[in-house]
Amino acid sequence: MAGFQSLSIAFLVCVIVSNHMVVDAMTSKNMVLFWGNSQSKIEGDDLQLVLDQSSGSGAKSKRYFIFGSFEAQIKFVPGDSAGLVTAFYLSSEGSHHDEVDFEFLGNATVEPYTIHTNIFVQGVGHREQQFRPWFDPTADFHNYTIHWNPNAVVWYIDSIPIRVFRNYENAPKLKTAFPNKQGMRLYTSLWNAQDWATQGGRVKTNWSYAPFTARFRRFRLRACPWNGALSISQCSSNSPTNWWTSPVYAQLSASQSTKLREIRQKYMIYDYCLDPTRKRSSGVLPPECYRRQF
């Protein structure tokens, strides 16, 4: 992520205790497998998730966090990946959970993946935005980052921001809930969703290509550990150790905003704020749609 490159090398490789940034050198120190296929494994800095007709698989961070940067390099299932979903997301627990999603929807051979993003606050989601990739996500590893601070959530691919969800919790009149009161784990998974994932479920999974494998490496969780309700104020304060609250992360730079607009103009295929069916069904769009998005 471009903004993070300004941090010194010494700052990136340290471990800061007492409710501040945690950086572990290896994926095996950050993540643990928690369900699924026996062929899935974590070895050092690498994670392999496998899906066949018996089961998909998933991994999660060992800790909960509130605010910071969550990133990994991912190489997606090649060839015919119809019906498959590879997910990289943050989530708390319970029916009123918060969640920030990167989901990558597979497709038939030579057809592009769909980059699906969403955010849930207090259990309420339906804030989808979708993009076509401007690269082949199966040919090599690319960096995917979720940056979450008290001002906004930003989704990045290879240091390029593609989406922003701003905090309008205290805005006059058009208030919008924001995820800032629950700790979240980082999760990743590979699973079958052939009923809806590819062209609305019209294209099903071709199991003759199984087992399917998605590869991950270099999980980096530069974030504030969740230690209960006290973490809400501790991790959102303007402390020098809370680097995510510094002014440079309060909003995108001019160059980042230009890149974001280019990506959205060229590669966005769905935006819930521009969906006329949403407005017809409920009468109004969600309140954040009437505010500046980035």
Residues involved in catalysis: 99, 103
Q: Which helix (H) or strand (E) holds 232?
A: helix 230-236
- The tokens describing 146, both together, are 């979720």
The C-alpha atoms of residue 6 and residue 214 are separated, in whole angstroms, by 31
DSSP 52-118: -SS--EEEEESS-EEEEEEEEEEEPPPS--TTEEEEEEEE--STT--EEEEEEE--STTSPPEEEEE
The C-alpha atoms of residue 235 and residue 225 are separated, in whole angstroms, by 8
Query: How many residues does this entry show for the chain?
Result: 294
Q: Which one, of 209, 119, 210, lies nearest residue 164 by Cα?
A: 119
Vertex 190: Cα angle to 189 and 196 (nearest 5): 110
Q: Specify whether the CB–CB gap between 154 and 138 falls below 8 A.
A: no
Three-state DSSP class for residue 200: helix
